[in-house]
Amino acid sequence: MTVRILIIDDDPRYHKVLARHIKSEWADAEVRAIRKTDRSADGPLIPDGVNPSDYHAVLLDRAPGGGDGLKYLRDFKRRPGFPPVIFIIDRGNELLAVEAIKAGAEDYLLREEINHDRFIASLRSAIRKHKRTSALLSRRQALDEACRFGAVKIRGHRFVRELGSGGISSVYLAEAGKDNSLVVLKVFRLVPEIAEAQNSFDRFIQEYQLISRIEHPNIVRIFDLGVADDHAYITMEYFKEGNLRAKMKRPLPAAKMLDYLRQIAGALTAIHEVGILHRDLKPANVMLREDESIALIDFGLAKQMTLDQEITGSGQIFGTPYYMSPEQGHAGQVDERSDIYSLGVMVFEMLSGEKPFTADTPMAVIYKHSNTPLPRLGGELSAYQELLDRMLAKAPHDRFQSAGDLLAYLDSQWPRQ
């Protein structure tokens, strides 16, 4: 390692004396001196192009350029990663040396009388301290970088990879806590001066408040809500098995469909009982656990039935057109029967491998939900036509009136084994 020392002093002859002492101990040492003529009258003490962190120690005169060395010293000590400072004083200014030590100087040096052994010992101590500090700073920077999720730094979590990004939030896989358990971080990009973003933020906070008070095996576990760098975030359960969409690349066995249907209906019963609508049921929002259980996620569009319309805005359409009920597609009044309709679309797709209504544009899909008859299932699947007719009825009053009614129907038609 090449020792690098920075001298801030106005006397070039003194620079040579200091350099001789340093190079007698470290022959390949690099010594750079900054004096008054090296900087403009109103410029900084350390000119542009000189990076103090490149040096192992700084030798600072008590009055560089006629200025206040103690003031400069205090400023240096506030800078992260600034190397240790040895303060240079004149004989008779020992009280100034005491002030320098209090201000954070590593040691002091008498200008008129340099004790070589003591000077080199001070430099060695400064170099060791700089190495330790640099290592800690590098580690801290590495940890800070590991805790960065996009533009946001979230302490206690380590970035693994980005899972997705939408209009109002980004989703990341992260390690959390001392056990490095995997969690999902959903980070909201808050732009509070924009009214639309504030409405989205309200829905984001509402997501946590609504879900966190529900304990149900088929609803995602929410661990925490926090704020970092003016961004809100939610920490939630991670599902390494992925979502239901991955299972629906081909039709599912009827028994598996009924299993998933019962679990999702049970989750809907739980959220509907506390006045929450999901409003965005689709395969991508149904996650799979290793034990074959499922859990609903992404309640970003959920809404308490008793909340004022000012949060979501009157006449706005939320959700995914393929799974959207006729009333939701036309921005009408929705209730729990709208979630049952969305679930019915998923049931049709699980059985047939196809969506019941498709078109080239979202509005054309919404039109079909309201006006096109439901396709009929043939063969053995016809046994589930009545179930689908009652879930996918155009008029809400012709559907199952609650998720509880749906579960009761399932138990009457296909009793649990």
pLDDT at position 178 over 80: no
Give dist(CA 389, CA 69) in Å, integer: 85
> What are the catalytic residues?
280
**Residue 349: what pLDDT?**
96
Pairing of the two strands 85-89 and 57-61? parallel
Options 1.10.287.10, 1.10.510.10, 1.20.1740.10, 3.40.190.10; CATH for 244-413 is 1.10.510.10
Under CATH, what is the fold of the domain 4-146?
Rossmann fold (3.40.50)
Q: Side chain identity at 298, as an amino acid letter?
A: D
Token pair of 375 as six digits: 């396709």
Note the pLDDT tens digit of each residue in 206-235.
Answer: 667 777 888 899 999 988 888 887 788 889
- Just give the CATH number of 150-237: 3.30.200.20
Sequence spans of domains, the chain: 4-146, 150-237, 244-413
Q: Which helix (H) or strand (E) holds 86?
A: strand 85-89
Note the pLDDT tens digit of each residue in 324-337.
Answer: 999 999 989 999 99
pLDDT at position 66 over 60: yes
**Residue 306: what pLDDT?**
41
Task: Please give the residue that has the higher pLDDT: either 93 or 306.
Answer: 93
